[in-house]
Amino acid sequence: MENVKTLGEFIIEQQSDFSDSTGEFSSLLSAIRLASKVVNQQVNKAGLMSHILGSAGEQNIQGEEQQKLDVFANNQFIKALVGRRVICGIASEENDDYIPINNNGRYIIAMDPLDGSSNIDVNVSIGTIFSIYQRITPIGQQVRAEDFLQKGTRQVAAGYVIYGSSTMLVYTTGNGVNGFTYDPGIGVYFLSHPDMKIPAAGKIYSINEGNINKCSAGVKQYVEYCKHVDAATKRPYTGRYIGSLVADFHRNLIKGGIYMYPATTDAPKGKLRLLYECNPLAFIVEQAGGKASDGHRRIMEIEPTDLHQRVPFFVGSQSMVDKVGDLISQE
Ligand code: P6P
């Protein structure tokens, strides 16, 4: 491909911007790139490799059946990251507690190695989500919980991989959002979506409407607002809910829209996890000109208290997140 930039070239270019003089951060991103290629290969063959499909017979901390591909993906990302020695600790949806790695590593990573895994068996897009921080505790010591329980505003990088009709890696280091599309024929990611920006107003709303009667009045009002017939404001909007966070988020990032996973009567904190789902996507969407809140507060301002804590999540086009937030504030 003539003069199209590869992810590797982009990472090196960013290294100077990121003042990553030791190249440690570049090495970290390269590890994520490598693991995503290995996971992509298995995801694409999952339909054929029955020994991968189906549950691993174990349950993760969420009490969810662990699909073998979940476990495989988790192991691949951990293996790649451990191999680069720049990580002092890893928090993963698939592990009850954080994993201390290299005491001399400068960075911690929080990740959901394969989100939406319930869609694996029905061939719907799934994704990896990651969030990176510099450690707080001194280098040379073992990593501690406080290294992971940092506000989202302290992230140094965040990204996701979407394993879909094509595989893409989308990430930010705080200087905008860039998307890279994978060419499996030559095993290279190419810069296909430079400087991604989410439309300020969108016409797509994503929510599991099966839960709507368990949501608060403000959320119900907003969904009714989306459905109201009004040509002047181009309503009704379009309802699109894939049931795979990364797929819904990625579509809304490109086309404009809002994804909502509110608190419900049986899940008062919502379903999605702050550390490795909401914070990384909040960082990305803000860098792309959008917004992310729990209905009241900016997601990235929330002080974490637990590795796997859940928060209500409203993310996407600024005007849509503001609108549902206004209705919730009037409850
Ligand atoms: P529900 C997948 O389990 C996930 O974490 C997200 O990827 C997805 O958006 C959401 O949960 C779907 O949850 O309750 O609507 O099936």
Report the CATH number at residue 140: 3.30.540.10
Which residue, by CA, sits nearest to atom 9 of ligand 1?
245
State yes or no: pLDDT of 317 exceeds 90.
Answer: yes
Segment 141-163 mean pLDDT: 98
Asked if residue 300 and residue 180 are part of one domain, the reply reads: no
Asked if residue 87 and residue 213 are part of one domain, the reply reads: no
DSSP state of 126: E
Asked if residue 149 and residue 212 are part of one domain, the reply reads: no
Given 169, 193, 217, the domain boundary residue is 193
State yes or no: pLDDT of 50 exceeds 60.
Answer: no
pLDDT tier for residue 217 given thresholds of 50, 70 and 90: very high
Q: Give the number of the atom of ligand 1 that is nearest the alpha carbon of residue 246.
A: 7
Asked if residue 189 and residue 224 are part of one domain, the reply reads: no
The pLDDT of residue 245 is 98
Asked if residue 115 and residue 11 are part of one domain, the reply reads: yes
Q: Which residues line ligand 1 (CB under 6 A)?
A: 115-116, 118, 208, 243-245, 271
Residue 217: domain span: 204-329
Residue 199 within a domain: no
Which residue, by CA, sits nearest to atom 14 of ligand 1?
208
State yes or no: pLDDT of 216 exceeds 70.
Answer: yes
Instruction: Count the domains in the chain.
Output: 2
Which of 124, 245, 308 should be mutated for ligand 1, with most atoms under 8 A from CB? Answer: 245
Asked if residue 249 and residue 128 are part of one domain, the reply reads: no
pLDDT tier for residue 97 given thresholds of 50, 70 and 90: very high
Asked if residue 240 and residue 167 are part of one domain, the reply reads: no
Which of 118, 209, 244 should be mutated for ligand 1, with most atoms under 8 A from CB? Answer: 244
Q: Which of 60-69, 169-178, 206-215, 256-265 has the lowest mean pLDDT?
A: 60-69
Distance of CA 250 from the midpoint of ligand 1 (Å): 15
Which residue, by CA, sits nearest to atom 12 of ligand 1?
243
Asked if residue 225 and residue 116 are part of one domain, the reply reads: no
Residue 184 within a domain: yes
Cα dist. 263→214, 215, 218, 273, 278 in Å? 8, 6, 11, 12, 14
Q: How far apart (Å, rounded) are the C-alpha atoms in residues 187 and 14?
A: 21
State yes or no: pLDDT of 52 exceeds 60.
Answer: no
Asked if residue 276 and residue 154 are part of one domain, the reply reads: no
Given 167, 193, 219, the domain boundary residue is 193
Residue 52 within a domain: yes
Q: Give the number of the atom of ligand 1 that is nearest the alpha carbon of residue 272.
A: 5
Residue 36 within a domain: yes
Residue 183 within a domain: yes
Which residue, by CA, sits nearest to atom 2 of ligand 1?
116
Q: Give the number of the atom of ligand 1 that is nearest the alpha carbon of residue 206.
A: 9
Provide the 10 A C-beta neighbour count for residue 220: 16
* pLDDT (tens digit per residue) in 221-256: 999 999 999 999 999 999 999 999 999 999 999 999
Q: Give the number of the atom of ligand 1 that is nearest the alpha carbon of residue 259.
A: 9
* pLDDT (tens digit per residue) in 170-185: 999 999 999 999 999 9
Asked if residue 100 and residue 31 are part of one domain, the reply reads: yes
Residue 147 within a domain: yes
